[in-house]
Chain A
Amino acid sequence: MPETNPSGGKREFLKVLLGGSFFAWLASVLYPVLAYMKPPPQAGVEVSSVNAGLVSDLPPDSGRIIKFGTKPVILIKTASGDLKAFDATCTHLDCTVQYRADMGVIWCACHNGKYDLTGRNIDGPPPRPLAPYRVTLQGDEILVSKTT
């Protein structure tokens, strides 16, 4: 009887071929599954400025959150009447900040982080300042826009 089993190099070659095919098959199954789990980018409208209401509606020494596209932005009217706006997402762990008139600071309730009215992180765990937004007035209307 002649030897029917492939020997030596042939056997190794077949092993590599079969093993390689197996991994290629596995990759062809896993790739679509992993790609499916990655959320597609949303075709959001790029917002460069928003109308934030009337100056007269915002009392001095107060703040409110406005919608800047999908992002929250905090608009503050200081005690002296200056208008300021910053990204409202805390640089620590993503909570939304608020203006605390009693402390005169921008405050994050989640981990007690504090920022002064220039957006600088002054106390607590936030590692970076809040990004500023430009505030301009058109008559009595407040316009908030990106600084860049």
Chain B
Amino acid sequence: MMNFLRQTYIWLDERLQLRDLVDFLGKKYVPVHRHSVWYYFGGVSLFLFLVQVVTGILLLLYYKGSEELAFESIQFIMSRVQFGWLIRSIHSWAANLFILAALIHMFSVFFEKAYRKPRELTWVTGMLMLFVGFGFGFSGYLLPWNELAFFATKVGTDIAGVVPVIGKPLLEFLRGGPEVTGATLSRFFGFHVAVFPGIFTILLGIHLLLVQRQGMSEPLGLEKNPSLEQKRMPFFPNFLLRDLLLWLMVLNLLAILAVFFPWELGQKADPFAPAPAGIKPEWYFMFMFQTLKLLPAHVLFVDGEVLGISLFGLAGILWLLVPFWDRRSARGEQNRFVNYLGLFATLYIILFTILGYLS
């Protein structure tokens, strides 16, 4: 067996010069310091994305993306297909943990100012992946065609319709017509299994390439103080093995969650039923949902919803572009304003999410 593996390696090495790659991995180091723990969340997000790809393909074997059959096909998966309940539950749980891991990764990069020069593009591709991740969540939420998802989609797409100038065409593009119907389900299914995975894979490729090319970012203080002994560990095998161990732990966590807290299916959507009490979006949209709930109908001469959505849009753009306006961090100086802004955003999101669940 070993002989066969060795011969395969030699065969490939003669053609692809694998030795260069092994040399590269051998020279790759990961800085070790008291904030090193945050380095692992990018890897965890990647792992959860891979879980989604695998479980998503498995669900595709039985799922039917139409108004008449979507709900029933998930019922079929959960009750008739062997381990169907497990695959569907893992897909739902991993989706949520992916967003959580990606958010932790994003906020840690933000507070460490790891987006500063020369890693602006790594930040931008990461943020775009997070946005696509929200798109995955929003489109996937509708696919079971249940009551909660139906109204969450009505609200979410109506929000898109509020965008100035392009709002109405955008709303019709998303819904496949003026209302949320089976046409919306077909489109969301297409976005979820073809468009978003394609875009995400391209962004992920660029993101990982940049990380490999530029190495891990180090906190500002460490970089500025060369007298401090800088500890580091080899990426291969030390860091990679730690990564794999954590992935195994996350997989166990997923299995526990999926088995003990199986994801519910709810009631089938009925376009002619009133919105049920307790309607809510996915938890990561809750702070925006709650804000829209609390805003009055009119603020001065603007509709409350238009104001809220415009402010969130503006905040999102500012957040995406932080490496380009935070000049102090780019020069290697501390920027307290960015810290306070990040702290404000984090507290706002946590507070309004809690309020959303309490009310």
Chain A residues within 8 Å of B, Cβ to Cβ: 37-39, 42, 65-67, 70, 72, 74, 88, 90, 92-98, 108-112, 121, 124-127
Q: A39-B183, A94-B158 are in contact. Are A65 and B173 (CB under 8 A)?
A: no
B298 within 8 A of A: yes
Q: DSSP majority for the A interface?
A: loop
- Chain-A contact segment, one of B224-232, B256-264, B276-284: B276-284
Query: Which chain A residues lie closer than 8 Å to B158 at the CB level?
Result: 93-94
Residues of B within 8 A of A95 (CB): 151, 154-155, 275, 279
**Complexed CA–CA distance, A92 and B295 (Å):** 11
Say how far B78's CB is from chain A's closest CB, in angstroms: 26
Known: A39-B172, A39-B183, A95-B151. Is A111-B293 also a contact (CB below 8 A)?
yes
Closest-CB distance, B17 to chain A (whole angstroms): 39
Known: A109-B274, A111-B289; 5 extra A-B contacts, CB below 8 A, are: A39-B172, A39-B175, A67-B272, A109-B275, A127-B305
How many chain B residues touch A (CB < 8 A): the figure is: 33
Report which B residues bind A (CB closer than 8 A). Answer: 151, 154-155, 157-159, 169, 172-173, 175-177, 179, 183, 271-279, 289, 292-293, 295-298, 303-305
Beta-carbon contact of B274 and A98 below 8 Å:
yes
Is there an interface contact between A127 and B297, defined as CB atoms closer than 8 Å? yes
Which 7 A-B pairs give the minimum distances between C-beta atoms?
A98-B274, A94-B158, A95-B275, A109-B275, A111-B293, A127-B297, A93-B155
Interchain CB contact under 8 A, B275 and A110: yes
27 A–B contact pairs at CB < 8 A?
Answer: A39-B173, A39-B183, A65-B273, A66-B272, A70-B179, A92-B297, A93-B155, A93-B292, A95-B151, A95-B154, A96-B272, A96-B274, A98-B275, A109-B274, A109-B278, A110-B151, A110-B275, A110-B279, A111-B289, A112-B293, A121-B297, A125-B292, A125-B305, A127-B297, A127-B303, A127-B304, A127-B305
